[in-house]
């Protein structure tokens, strides 16, 4: 893989598409489409407070969560950009009840790829100027090319992903993604609207000292998670660990990826199946984590080996530094 700090994202995509086993140029155009939509959303995020984009939209999404205005804007921006470029045959979004068949172009059904997306992760944080993000996952369709996309094209195991990534809109805007050949991060230069390679070959430290979990739900956690938190807080030579929880998956994951740590959103009496969505959040983040040397499980099994049964399926999520995740799994098993 050609890694040269300072490369633009466009140059990087073109120069490294040969490393992708299905290389046909179509995936490169798809990544470029996501890049464009990202810049549109970034522009609107940066206008928050100056234009009428803050606050609640007034409706709920399929999970019964009240939508923010930026949720709706980001969702429409990504769907519009992806559906107009003849690069995908279907899109599934966390904000939509069902998947979308792309039929607005002559060659829509001939496209090989489907995209699953969380358009604006952590959007409630916008009102208080905290980092938010976008998460995306790309698969090759399993139904015959030239036919309308079907539900089975989306209900694939995470180990079938061909690409995944996330964007973090923070003090700087970064796009991080993988196509199965490592993880690379690109930072947006806002003055000229171009992403540059700033974090080549990103790796998650095998050990860390940060744990990210909403400890306000402690009473509802399974015993194994409570035991792990006690382990993190115990005074030892390398402990206690530091607790850091932003409440925006992209931001928490990104910090732990750079510094070493574990992110946990477990099951509990309030969320029996966990809260995060397997297809829109857990699978893409798991793919990135594994490509960077980390690990992602539901506390007992590999996230990317779980067979999805519905578009908005939720699962518990343990993700980050390999040794920290394995210790959490050990305590979950013991409990």
> What is the separation of C-alpha 312 from the centre of its chain, rounded to a whole number of angstroms?
14
Mean pLDDT of the chain: 88
What confidence score (pLDDT) does residue 105 get? 59
pLDDT-derived band at 57 (thresholds 50, 70, 90) equals very low
Torsion from C-alpha of 67, 68, 73, 76, nearest 10 degrees: -10
Report whether 214 belongs to an annotated binding site.
yes
pLDDT tens-place string over residues 64-83: 555 567 888 889 999 999 98
* pLDDT computed for residue 161 by the predictor: 96
Question: What is the band of 26 on the pLDDT scale with cuts at 50, 70, 90?
Answer: confident
Choose between 61 and 308: higher pLDDT: 308
* Domains and their CATH numbers in the chain: 9-199 (3.30.540.10), 210-334 (3.40.190.80)
Quick one: pLDDT at residue 49?
47
Q: How confident is the model at residue 91 (pLDDT cuts 50, 70, 90)?
A: very high
Q: Is 198 annotated as a binding residue?
A: no
Note the pLDDT tens digit of each residue in 249-258: 999 999 999 9
54 has pLDDT over 50? no
Q: Establish whether 281 is an annotated binding residue.
A: yes
SS (H, E, C) 257-325: HHHCCEEEECCCCCCCCCCCEHHHHHHHHHHHHHHCCCEEECCCCEHHHCCCCCCCCECCEEEECHHHH
The pLDDT score that the predictor gives to residue 253 is 97
CA dist., res. 154 & res. 164, Å (int): 14
158 annotated binding-site participant = no
| Spatial distance between the Cα atoms of 274 and 263, rounded to a whole number of angstroms | 13
Would you say 123 is a known binding-site residue?
yes
Alpha carbons 78 and 213: distance in angstroms, whole number: 29
Residue 66 has a pLDDT of 55
Rounded CA-CA distance 167/62 in Å is 23
- What is the pairing mode between strands 262-265 and 317-320? antiparallel
120 is in an annotated binding site: yes
Compute the average pLDDT of residues 272-298: 97
pLDDT at 72: 86
Query: 329: annotated binding-site residue?
Result: no
Q: What is the mean pLDDT of residues 181-198?
A: 93
User: Is 122 assigned to a binding site?
Assistant: yes
Other C-beta atoms lying within 10 Å of the C-beta of residue 98? 12
Confidence of residue 103 (pLDDT cuts 50, 70, 90): confident
Nearest to 165 by CA among 11, 26, 27, 333: 27
> Is the pLDDT confidence value at 175 over 60?
yes
Q: For 109-159, how does the pLDDT look when each residue is reduced to its tens digit (9 = 90+)?
A: 678 899 999 999 887 777 777 889 999 999 999 999 888 999 999 999 999
Tokens of residue 206, six digits: 């095998």
Q: Does the annotation flag 121 for ligand binding?
A: yes
């Amino acid at each position: 893989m050609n890694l040269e700090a300072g490369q633009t994202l466009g140059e990087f995509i073109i120069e490294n598409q040969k490393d992708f086993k299905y290389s046909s140029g179509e995936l490169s155009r798809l990544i470029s489409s996501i890049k464009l939509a990202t810049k549109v959303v970034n522009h609107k995020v940066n206008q928050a407070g100056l234009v009428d984009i803050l606050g609640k939209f007034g409706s709920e999404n399929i999970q019964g969560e009240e939508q923010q205005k930026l949720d709706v804007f980001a969702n429409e921006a990504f769907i519009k950009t992806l559906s107009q470029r003849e690069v995908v045959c279907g899109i599934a979004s966390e904000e939509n009840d069902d998947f979308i068949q792309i039929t607005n172009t002559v060659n829509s059904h001939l496209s090989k790829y489907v995209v699953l997306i969380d358009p604006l992760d952590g959007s409630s944080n916008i009102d208080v100027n905290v980092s938010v993000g976008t998460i995306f996952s790309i698969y090759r369709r399993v139904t015959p090319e030239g036919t309308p996309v079907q539900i089975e094209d989306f209900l694939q195991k995470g180990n079938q992903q061909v690409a995944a990534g996330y964007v973090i809109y923070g003090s700087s805007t970064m796009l991080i993604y993988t196509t199965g050949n490592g993880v690379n991060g690109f930072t947006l230069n806002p003055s000229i609207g171009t992403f540059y390679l700033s974090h080549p070959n990103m790796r998650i430290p095998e050990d860390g000292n940060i744990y990210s979990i909403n400890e306000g739900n402690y009473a509802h956690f399974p015993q194994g998670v409570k035991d792990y938190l006690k382990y993190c807080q115990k005074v030892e030579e390398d402990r206690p660990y530091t607790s850091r929880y932003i409440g925006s998956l992209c931001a928490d994951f990104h910090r732990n990826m750079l510094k070493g740590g574990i992110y946990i959103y477990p099951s509990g009496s309030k969320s029996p199946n966990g809260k995060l969505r397997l297809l829109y959040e857990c699978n893409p983040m798991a793919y990135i984590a594994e490509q960077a040397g980390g690990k992602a499980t539901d506390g007992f099994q590999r996230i990317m080996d779980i067979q999805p049964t519905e578009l908005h399926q939720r699962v518990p999520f343990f993700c980050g530094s390999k040794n920290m995740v394995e210790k959490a799994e050990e305590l979950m098993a013991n409990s």
